[in-house]
Amino acid sequence: MKSICLLFAAFLFTPYLYAQNYDESKVGDYTLPDVLTAANGKKITTKKEWEQTRRPEVLNLFEEHVYGQFPKKYDRLEYSVKNENKQAMNGKAHLKEVEITVYNNNKPLRINVVLFVPTNAKKPVPAFLLINNRNKRNTAPARDTLSEFWPAEMVIDAGYAVAAFHNSDAAPDNKNTYQNGVLQLYPEQLQADNGMKAIGAWAWGASRVLDYFEKDKDIDAKKVAVVGHSRGGKAALWAAAQDQRFAICASNCSGNTGASLARRNFGESVERINTSFPHWFTTNYKKYNGNEAALPVDQHMLIALVAPRPVYVTNASKDLWADPTGTFLAIKAAEPVYTLFGSKSKLPDSPPAVDTPYDNPPLGYHNRVGIHDLTEYDWANFIDFANFHYKKK
């Protein structure tokens, strides 16, 4: 009887005992879908063919199977400055706390933006926008808490505006309540197998902040970098893929279903992410649990959707969950699309040593020594990357 009970317990708990793979020798072979072969088998060789044929196809595959639809229409957008301080950061910056309200389906959605504009910079200024998936204190408007997660003073000193909104304004990060945000504006999404969920909603929210930037005379809306960490980094990539107005994307430690390859069996898997976070991706995406090889896309194709605009992705050496090697291989595999635009990547052939940033556009990468986090080191490299890009133009 005792042994039967033990057997039964082992059977019950087996799924939880399966650790994710961290052994390079067990990764196995995989074949990535060719980003430059169209659905009809035709090889894409020009920028025009990419833009007219393959890019829409790839975007649609990600909508259908991974992140869901990305509604383009809404009834109207209003905004008001709820609080401002022209002498913020000891006079270095102008603080604006902006409430954006988007209406659709007779429902309002409020997105609160914290924005600092450098006082002495020539207007309009380029900006960095963070999708904040951590504590709101990280983006404290009063600067009574300072955090490396959003080192706003450092960004201001570099001559950029810096902004953030909290992801929960667009969709609560909770499997029972994620509907209480953008999805109230688009209830039909909830019924659809390719309906957007939380990650899609956060990305959509970033686009609405960009709509606001287009109305703010202090901000150069053609020079906005969207930044996100981890789950926020997944959303930042999807926002930049969908909304070609974003000039730069910085995706920090975004890992599975962010910048790392799904087919590489290392760290977090599709089944694991869909199980832990059933409210992030489409219902369709669950079909690929334990079956990444059947996906019509892999994450190099998501990075490629941002081309020719610059993308910077990062890892942290101790963050094996996010698969640093698989992330580097993904950004590397996006290169052929940049090449179509005559834009030559300067990335090395194999993953660079830790703390060795490649911050020349169009494709940037580093693997910072340390843990899963967004730090001043990461931001300093995003700033270098942006400086390089904007000066070149």
The DSSP element (H or E) to which 117 belongs, if any, is: strand 107-118
Nearer to ligand GTR, 255 or 326 (CB): 255
* Pairwise CA distance, residues 104 & 176, whole Å: 22
Nearer to ligand GTR, 104 or 138 (CB): 138
* Pairwise CA distance, residues 182 & 68, whole Å: 13
Cβ atoms of 243 and 210 closer than 8 Å = yes
Catalytic residue among 147, 317, 343, 372: 372
Smallest gap from residue 337 Cβ to ligand GTR (A):
25
Smallest gap from residue 151 Cβ to ligand GTR (A):
19
Nearer to ligand GTR, 213 or 277 (CB): 277
What is the number of the residue whose Cβ is closest to ligand GTR?
230
Nearer to ligand GTR, 258 or 351 (CB): 258
Smallest gap from residue 273 Cβ to ligand GTR (A):
6
* First-to-final CA distance of the chain: 75
225 backbone dihedrals φ, ψ, rounded to 5°: -95, 130
| Residues found near ligand GTR in the complex (CB under 6 A) | 133, 230-231, 255-256, 268, 273, 276
Give the burial string for 49-77 (b: 16+ CB within 10 Å, else e): bbeebbbebbbebbbbbbbbbbeeebeeb
Nearer to ligand GTR, 231 or 300 (CB): 231
Smallest gap from residue 1 Cβ to ligand GTR (A):
39
Nearer to ligand GTR, 52 or 276 (CB): 276
* Pairwise CA distance, residues 335 & 346, whole Å: 10
Angle between helices 198-213 and 231-242 (to 10 degrees): 60
Q: CA 239, 68, 293 angle in degrees (round to 5)?
A: 100
Cβ atoms of 12 and 5 closer than 8 Å = no
Smallest gap from residue 133 Cβ to ligand GTR (A):
6
Catalytic residue among 230, 260, 269, 345: 230
Strand stretches in 45-92, DSSP E: 76-87
Identify the bridge partners of residue 115 per DSSP, sorted by sequence position: 96, 163
Query: Is residue 279 annotated as a catalytic residue, yes or no?
Result: no
Query: Is residue 372 annotated as a catalytic residue, yes or no?
Result: yes
Nearer to ligand GTR, 273 or 333 (CB): 273
Smallest gap from residue 282 Cβ to ligand GTR (A):
16
Q: Which residues contact 14 (CB under 8 A, 6 or more apart)?
A: none
User: Tokens 């270098």 map to which residue?
Assistant: 384
* β-bridge pairing 107-118 and 161-166: antiparallel
Nearer to ligand GTR, 185 or 297 (CB): 297
Give the burial string for 102-139 (b: 16+ CB within 10 Å, else e): bebeeeebebbbbbbbbeebeebbbbbbbbbbbebebb
User: Tokens 């649609």 map to which residue?
Assistant: 60
Smallest gap from residue 199 Cβ to ligand GTR (A):
9
Smallest gap from residue 184 Cβ to ligand GTR (A):
24
> What's CA 284's distance to the chain center, in Å?
20
Cβ atoms within 10 A of the Cβ of 273, count? 21
Show which residues are catalytic. 230, 372
